[in-house]
Amino acid sequence: MRRIIDTHMHMGDIYHENLNVVFKKPFQYDYRPYPDVFEDLGEIGYSKPLVVPDEKRHNQLIDAAQNHDWERGGLQAAISAMEYSGITYAVNLPILPGHGFEDALAITKLYPNILCFTCPDFELPVEEMVKKLKKDIVRGAKGLKLHPIINNISPRDERLHAAMEVFGDLGLPITSHCGINDYYKKDSPHFKKTNKEYGALYYVLEWIEKYPDFIFIPAHCGGFSGGEMDELSNAVKTHGWKNVYVETSMRGREDIEKMIDLFGEDKVMFGTDNPSTPYYYSLECVLEATKHDPELQEKVLYRNAAKLLYL
């Protein structure tokens, strides 16, 4: 049987707006009351850019993502989506304040095939934050998720570096959102409390340069404003970095083929960003990109991630 690990999924509402929706019943619309940019892009195999410089379109993207968190971000919906697509394990990446490690751990206890990372609680003093992260590892956190935009923290802030050192020193993976995207519409009270520039790839490149031995997974293969995949790959080649992994979330077949070429077949992992994007379109793109080589397919869908997660 085919084994699949989704290395990039979320549970519940990762925005500040609705907070805990994980244990609530999935919300079901009778009809789709919003333009679903993610669904439309999935249908065409992500062959067009997700992020475009158009405010109306970007607002539609934010609306769709928030609606998806309600509809598909709950536990019940996640479990049936995983079953439908045959996902063996999914890695839940918590982001405070909407979804923290305790929620993620509770889910793992109920469904051991939904593994989890943890995330720093920046409201704690730095020593407490570090202590908590170490405790999270003992309790089952498989890695660290960072999201400087949603947490509104500069990637150069020493607290981020302290958090990374906890995981990096133990050989556990660190992933961070990459991509300069707005997460709130201009009329949201949260808009001014986030800085999308914090998603710029060059910050992550600075981290990797500082910590070349740490295992880094720059999310979305560096971002999707255009050109990030090449930028990341050039940096990896120039510096000879050995510990940079990439994942396939919201990438189409061509991008995935290119990713395998640039980073090598041992460094590419399946990722979806469910519930923003459903499993089936992303899976279809990976299956297409790797259909000529069953061993490569197994590496991308399972083995590369299984190694990092010590499964």
Which range binds Zn ion by CB under 5 A, 15-23, 201-209, 238-246, 272-280?
Answer: 272-280
Residue 228 as a binder of Zn ion (CB under 5 A): the answer is no
Q: Is 247 a residue that touches Zn ion (CB under 5 A)? A: no
* Segment interacting with Zn ion, rule: CB under 5 A, options 117-125, 199-207, 229-237, 267-275: 267-275
Please report which helix (H) or strand (E) contains residue 235, including its range: helix 228-239
Cβ 208 to Zn ion shortest distance, Å: 19
Q: In the bound complex, which residue of the shown chain has the CB atom lying closest to Zn ion? A: 273
Q: What stretch of H or E contains 286?
A: helix 279-290
CB of 295 to Zn ion, least distance (A): 28
| Least distance between Zn ion and beta carbon 104 (Å) | 14
- Residue nearer to Zn ion on the CB measure, 223 or 252: 223
Segments of the chain assigned E as strands: 5-9, 89-92, 114-116, 144-146, 174-176, 216-218, 246-247, 268-269
Residue 243, SS3 per DSSP: coil
- Closest separation in Å from C-beta 8 to Zn ion: 6
Instruction: Report CA torsion sign: 19, 251, 161, 265.
Output: positive
Residue 71 structure tokens? 């509809």
* Closest CB 10 distance from Zn ion, rounded Å: 6
Please choose, from the candidates 245, 258, 216, the residue with its C-alpha nearest in 3D space to the C-alpha of residue 305: 245
Residue whose CB is less far from Zn ion, 36 or 247: 247
Q: Which stretch binds Zn ion (CB under 5 A): 62-70, 95-103, 159-167, 266-274?
A: 266-274
Q: Does 273 bind Zn ion (CB under 5 A)?
A: yes
User: 3-state DSSP call for residue 281?
Assistant: helix
For Zn ion, the closer CB: 146 or 308: 146
Interhelix angle for 55-72 vs 75-85, to 10°?
90
* Site size toward Zn ion, by CB under 5 A: 1
**Interface region with Zn ion, contact rule CB under 5 A, candidates 49-57, 102-110, 155-163, 269-277:** 269-277
Are 158 and 126 spatial neighbours (Cβ–Cβ below 8 Å)?
yes
Q: Compare residues 228 and 273 and give the one whose CB is closer to Zn ion.
A: 273
Task: Give the DSSP letter of residue 116.
Answer: E
Map the footprint of Zn ion across residues 62-101, applying CB under 5 A.
Answer: none
DSSP state of 24: S
Q: How far is the CB of 75 from Zn ion (least distance, A)?
A: 17
Write the secondary structure of 49-73 as one string of H (helix), E (strand) and C (coil): CCCCCCHHHHHHHHHHHHHHHHHHC
Comparison of 6 and 273: residue with beta carbon closer to Zn ion: 273
| Shortest separation between residue 237's beta carbon and Zn ion, angstroms | 26
Comparing CB distances to Zn ion, the nearer of 10 and 303 is: 10
C-beta of 87 vs 297, nearer to Zn ion: 87
The strand pair at 144-146 and 174-176 is best described as parallel
Q: Which residues bind Zn ion (CB under 5 A)?
A: 273
